[in-house]
């Protein structure tokens, strides 16, 4: 158990819909990361937050957005869903988000868009 | 952008054999990490490397941070069936952004 909690574990939704994925980081960790893993793309970094503020942005679509709240939990919002958005979405956390910090992953949220 | 080239893409080995996989890049990184992912689970950290030239072991696993800071390898000795999974390398920049390799899928035959 990494200490990173993600909900929901599985989600099935229709194209065009919007979903929210939730993440609670490890206790004491200030930085949260979101990743997308699909069969053909591997593990892709989406976005990173540190103490409520966006720190780094990766390959995140404009239809997707995220935020980190004052209690440090984070949400990833996916809107206007397409079939190709079906993937495993991981949240991860680290202590300060700097290069020397290890990143710990949650178990992921399986999203299926039908 | 920064890219990690991880090889091999897959390996089929016999139980008891040693395994070696590596990641290379044209970019310099400050941290190298190796993760293992079981089906349907999140990646689990195996080894973290923070200094060029560093050699670190974790049980039957050994990893090294390349002296040029552009590569790293992971060795698994005396493989067992539960070593099966996908192994990812990852590297961090100063800004904390992680880049992942495409993974090495390991199959161990009893």
H-run or E-run covering B75? strand B71-76
Per-residue pLDDT at B1: 52
Per-residue pLDDT at A57: 85
By Cβ distance, the residue of B45, B95, B99 closest to A102 is B45
* pLDDT over 80 at A90, yes or no: yes
Per-residue pLDDT at B2: 64
Per-residue pLDDT at A99: 61
Q: What is the Cα–Cα distance from B10 to B16, expressed in whole angstroms?
A: 17
Beta bridge pairs of residue A62: none
- Please indicate if any CB of chain B lies within 8 Å of the CB of A28: no
pLDDT tens digit sequence for B50-84: 899 999 999 999 999 999 999 999 999 999 999 99
> Among A49-63, B33-47, B93-107, which stretch is predicted with the lowest mean pLDDT?
B93-107
| Confidence bin at A39 (pLDDT 50/70/90) | confident
| Confidence bin at B94 (pLDDT 50/70/90) | low
- Please indicate if any CB of chain B lies within 8 Å of the CB of A30: no
Q: Determine whether the interchain pair A56/B97 forms a contact, defined as Cβ–Cβ distance below 8 Å.
A: yes
Beta bridge pairs of residue A33: A48, A92
Chain A positions touching B96 (Cβ under 8 A) are 31, 48, 50, 55-56, 94, 96-99, 101
Per-residue pLDDT at A58: 83
> In a 3-state reduction of DSSP, which class is residue A52?
coil
How large is the average pLDDT for residues B38-53? Answer: 87
């Amino acid at each position: 158990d990494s200490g990173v909690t993600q909900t929901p574990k599985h989600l099935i939704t229709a194209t065009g819909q919007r979903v929210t994925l939730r993440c609670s980081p490890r206790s004491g960790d200030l930085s949260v990361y979101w990743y997308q893993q699909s069969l053909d793309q591997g593990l892709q970094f989406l976005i990173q937050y540190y103490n409520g503020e966006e720190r780094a942005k990766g390959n995140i679509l404009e239809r997707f957005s995220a935020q980190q709240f004052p209690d440090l939990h984070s949400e990833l919002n996916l809107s206007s869903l397409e079939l190709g958005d079906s993937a495993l979405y991981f949240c991860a956390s680290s202590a300060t988000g700097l290069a020397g910090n290890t990143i710990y992953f949650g178990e992921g949220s399986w999203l299926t868009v039908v | 952008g920064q890219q990690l080239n991880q090889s091999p893409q897959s390996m089929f080995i016999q139980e008891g054999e040693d395994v070696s996989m590596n990641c290379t890049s044209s970019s310099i990184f400050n941290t190298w990490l190796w993760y293992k992912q079981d089906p349907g689970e999140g990646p689990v950290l195996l080894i973290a490397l923070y200094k060029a030239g560093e050699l670190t072991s974790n049980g039957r696993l050994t990893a090294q941070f390349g002296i040029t800071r552009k590569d790293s390898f992971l060795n698994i000795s005396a493989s067992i069936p539960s070593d099966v999974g996908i192994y990812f390398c990852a590297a961090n920049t100063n800004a904390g952004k992680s880049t992942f390799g495409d993974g090495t899928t390991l199959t161990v035959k009893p």
